[in-house]
Structure 1
Amino acid sequence: MSAHRAQLSRRGFLGGTALFAAGALVGCTTDPAGGGTAGAKTTLNVWFHAYGEAGTQQAATRYAESFTKAHPDIAVKVTWVPGDYSSKLNATLLTDAAPDVFEIGDFSEGMARRGQIAALDTLYGSAKADFSPGDLDVVTVDGKLYGVKMVDDVMMLYYRKSVLAKAGIAPPTTFDQLVAAAKALTTKDRKGLFVGNDGVGDTAILAVFSNGGDLVTDGKVAFASPRAVDAVTGLRRLHDDQSLLLGFTTDWWDPAAFTQDVVPMQWCGLWAMPAIKTALGDDFGVLPWPAFKPGGSPVVRVGGWTSCVNAKSKHVDAAEKFVQWLWVEQTALQKDWSENYGLHIAPRRSVAGSDGKLSQGTAKETVELAAKYGKHNPNTWDSAVSTPFNAAAAKIATGQGDPARLLADAARQAQTAVDKQRA
């Protein structure tokens, strides 16, 4: 999922023993490569945010130990960071305690332009052609690659087959059908659709994409176009119909509202599919967010996490060797990371397409939807750019103010932030 939504997210529950670094609460760490590193000349500090899926921390530690066995001169300390990962990372990168290797969600062009992350073109080698073009594009700044994608997190619309069938409702393929279905499925005991506790979630982004628009194009903010205004304004229909679930105990990234029969349709991610299947068997399907109107396009969101090297690290060569070994060379570990702790799509197409948990059923269907309709946020889409858009969209969806003016004002603020990134 997006790192900008990961302050306390589906992946933000694990904590562990807390340590203090540079005066700030950071997280728990492992002994470098399990402690058996007496001969190591270099120790790398590798940061992960606190994934919520069981087994992820142990897997990250196991990978570090395997790397050190293959490279005895380099020890790896895994630091597991709970809570507001992005803020902790940004603060620590300004200090001597900055990690050598770290992951980021929704890759930020600004980090490359500020000289915080190293260009990693040479790490890819012949494997570059095997990576999804979208995963290469999102880490590209001025023709150079500044990270290696670790997983693709796909977000789409889940629906209960039996509930829709009983109501005589076909799975919606247009926005009008989605609005009608959400309204028809709303009763005194439940709402028809859950997109987030604020009633907006990712829907404003989806609205723009689904009407043929974009958020930022070639450094120019584009979310105030007439098409974008039209689509974001359309979200008000869901609120006016009072068909959205608001204020649930967990947010959209957790499937509980869906699996507990609180709603028959929910925007969520591929990561939740194992839990959904355990709860509901085969009584669910997946859909892209539908096209807003003819001429638009269905959308599934593609986020995920990217491994980066601190350009100011004292151990850049060793850090690059670790990233190359794990996220380029070790396809078996990449498959383990993608499929055994929730479900995610591996960025390397040969890994994602090989036999495994994504090769059949609804999971395979999701992979196909991502290939056909997947959209990444632009790599300029950091919090300074996205915050004014999200604030304007929330007002528009709830009928506060003139949509065109709100998005135009937000676009001016966002353009200032983009220009600052690219200066």
Structure 2
Amino acid sequence: MSAQRAQLSRRGFLGGAVLFVAGTAVGCTTSPTGASSSGAKTTLNVWSHAYGEAGTQQALTRYAARFTKANPDIAVKVTWVPGDYTAKLNASLLTAAAPDVFEHGEFTQGLARRGQVAALDTQYGSAKDDFNQGDRDLLTVDGKLYGVQMVDDVMMLYYRKSALAKAGITPPTTFDALASAAKALTTKKRKGLYIGADGVGETPALAVFSNGGELVADGKVAFASPKAVEAVTALKRLHDDKSLLLGFTTDWWDPSALIQGAAAMQWCGLWAMPAVKKALGKDFGILPWPAFKAGGSPVLRVGGWTSCVNAKGKNVDAAKKFVQWLWIEQKELQRDWSEGYGFHVPPRKSVAAVARKLSQGPAKETVELAAEYGRHNPNTWDSASSTPFTAAAAKIVTGQGDPARLLAAAAKQAQAAVDKQLS
């Protein structure tokens, strides 16, 4: 259930909406009828992007039905939004038809500072400390919490054990070793590494983190530092060695490149592990993006989805009640959501501790590594601040300019975007 760039391609399957009236599901349009006759005083419009994992739509509508059964005065319409969810959500939030509750991928401070989302500290109550600290840091603006994390999506490297064993290669622990392994594993029929169809993917940010750098720190863009320049520049080696799989039919979020043998190693997510295990059995392992060099740190990227309440909506109190009920109080449903439809880490520590499918093998290893090396993007990292960085990195890895100058120019653009978001 990864966010942002994955939304367009991995999520765009289904559309429609469902209204729950006193626990009964009724197919409807975005203007439902029947709520008043059921006795419900309020109808909540809850938006979800179109998840690709089988069973997710049914699960969300089932959860909504249970909420309405427990709260018959509140009907819930779950709107399943296909296509470019972020663009549609942003457009909707400018209108009176905006959803009461919506999920957001990669929460950013701007949502709170624009007064778009409501603070939920009261709803957390005594459960606050049970939520992952990294998630709470992401969702905190000026000391207040502005959303509840629904899932933590962990992203890491998968590798084919048999391919590495045949080549006499041990899982790499530095970038130099990763680049050497990718080159050695490349054959006429297979590339050593897949990081995305564009040959860039998430690697620029991973490179910065792995060399002890930051993207944004204390409101200041930091990706043009000497350490960041060094690490991003090194990614060019993967292109020069021709060890990257480019232009594959699905992007990095889908494990098909690894499963089909098109690449021996692939950057992907924990959500894909059931499919990888089904296809490869025990012939796979996982590892972090390796430390750039001594003094650096391995990295697993942590993203996910956040449930937010529209602070400008007409039903704020009912919306807060729904979010509190589902994502704070209902541990059973939170566990079902995290391990029933692909693998995801529950944001609540007590729920993660009893998630059976995450308690063994590579899934357990992933969770443990994420606890030690997991990194969230900063909550000022929106499209306006991240796009200049990604564009500069794409030029650097293909040799289209001086890396230091490209990143410095990108940092200037990104800083203007961060300043605007924080103002």
Structure 1-normalised TM-score? 0.96
Q: Give the equivalent residue in structure 2 for 1:6.
A: 6
Deviates more, 1:28-37 or 1:302-311: 28-37
Question: Percent same amino acid at aligned positions?
Answer: 76
Question: What is the DSSP-based 3-state SS (H/G/I as helix, E as strand, rest coil) of the residue aligned with 2:4?
Answer: helix
Residues 234-245 of structure 1 mapped to structure 2, 5 A cutoff = 234-245=234-245
CA distance in 2, matches of 1:308, 1:365: 30
1:257 is matched with 257
Tell me if structure 2 keeps the 8 A contact 1:6–1:85: no
**1:268 counterpart residue number:** 268
Q: Distance in 1 between matches of 2:148 and 2:326?
A: 10
Q: 2: distance between equivalents of 1:352 and 1:393?
A: 36
Q: Contact 1:158–1:286 (CA<8 Å) still a contact in 2?
A: yes
Computed over aligned residues only, the root mean square deviation of the Cα atoms, in angstroms, reads 0.9
Distance 1:79 1:9 in 2: 19
1:223 is matched with which residue?
A: 223
Return the offset for 1:200: 0.6
- What is the rounded CA distance, in whole Å, between the counterparts of 1:233 and 1:2 in structure 2? 26
Q: How does 1:146-225 map to 2 (within 5 A)?
A: 146-225=146-225
Question: Does the 8 Å contact 2:339/2:355 carry over to 1?
Answer: no
CA distance, structure 2, for counterparts of residue 378 and residue 130 of structure 1: 21
Aligned partner of residue 231 in structure 1, secondary structure: helix
Do the aligned partners of 1:3 and 1:86 also contact (CA within 8 Å) in 2? Answer: no
Distance in 1 separating the partners of 2:9 and 2:58: 20
Gap change, CA 1:7 and 1:341, over 3 Å in 2: closer
Shift of 1:355: 4.5
- Determine the C-alpha separation between the residues in 1 that align with 2:282 and 2:338: 22
* Contact residue 148 and residue 308 of structure 2 kept, 8 A: yes
Deviating above 2 A after TM superposition, structure 1's stretches of 4 or more consecutive aligned residues are: 1-4
| Rounded Cα–Cα distance in structure 1 between residues aligned with 2:422 and 2:257 | 41
Tell me how far apart the structure 1 counterparts of residues 355 and 101 of structure 2 sit (CA, whole Å). 30
Offset of residue 398 of structure 1:
0.8
1:284-324 C-alpha deviation (Å, 9 max, x unpaired): 00000000011100000000000000000100000000000
- Give, in whole Å, the separation in 2 of the partners of 1:123 and 1:395: 46
The amino acid that maps onto 1:32 is: F
CA distance in 2, matches of 1:189, 1:165: 18
Task: Identify the residue that residue 57 of structure 1 maps to in structure 2.
Answer: 57
Question: Does the 8 Å contact 1:92/1:98 carry over to 2?
Answer: yes
Deviation at 1:39, TM superposition (A): 1.1
Aligned to 1:22: none
Does the aligned pair in 2 maintain the 1:4–1:382 contact within 8 Å? no
Number of residue pairs matched by the alignment: 411
Once the two structures are TM-superposed, the CA of residue 13 in structure 1 deviates from its matched residue by 3.2
Match of 1:398 in 2: 398
Hey, what does 1:141 align to over in structure 2? 141
SS at match of 1:40: coil
Tell me which of 20, 41, 52 is aligned to 1:32: 20
Deviation of 1:8 after TM superposition, in Å, equals 1.4
Once the two structures are TM-superposed, the CA of residue 353 in structure 1 deviates from its matched residue by: 1.2
Match in the other structure for 2:71: 71
SS across alignment from 2:306: strand
Distance between the aligned counterparts of 2:305 and 2:53, measured in 1?
14
Question: Can you give the 5+ residue segments of structure 2 that lack an aligned partner in the other structure?
Answer: 27-33
In structure 2, the residue corresponding to 1:9 is in which secondary structure? helix
Give the AA of the match of 1:247: G
Q: CA deviation at 1:9?
A: 2.8
Q: Deviations over 1:28-51 (max 9, x none)?
A: 111234148511000000000000
Q: Distance in 2 between matches of 1:62 and 1:404?
A: 52
Give the C-alpha shift of residue 2 in structure 1. Answer: 4.7
Instruction: State the Cα distance separating 1:4 from its structure 2 match.
Output: 2.2
CA distance in 2, matches of 1:100, 1:62: 18
Counterpart of 2:325, as a letter, is W
Contact kept? 1:193, 1:265, Cα under 8 Å? yes
Partner of 1:15: 14
Secondary structure (helix, strand or coil) at the match of 1:319 reads helix
Equivalent residue, structure 2, for 1:369: 369
- 8 Å contact from structure 2 (residues 6, 253) kept in 1: no
Aligned-partner Cα distance in 2 for 1:9–1:266:
18
Q: Residue 76 of structure 1: SS of its match in structure 2? A: strand
Contact 1:149 1:305 survives alignment (8 Å) = yes
Aligned to 2:283: 283
Opposite residue 13 of structure 2, the aligned amino acid is L
| Partner residue in 1 for 2:112 | 112
Distance 2:361 2:90 in 1: 40
3-state SS of the aligned residue for 2:237?
Answer: helix
SS at match of 2:279: helix
Secondary structure of the corresponding residue to residue 4 of structure 1: coil
Q: Which residue of 2 aligns with 1:21?
A: none
How far, CA to CA, are the matches of 2:213 and 2:131 in structure 1? 26
Which residue pairs with 1:324 in the alignment?
Answer: 324
* Preserved contact between residue 335 and residue 355 of structure 2 (Cα < 8 Å): no
Aligned 8 A contact 1:120 1:145 in 2? yes
1:32 alignment partner, SS class: strand
Q: Deviations over 1:208-260 (max 9, x none)?
A: 00000000011100000000000000000000000000000000000001111
| Match of residue 121 from structure 1 | 121
Q: CA deviation at 1:392?
A: 0.2
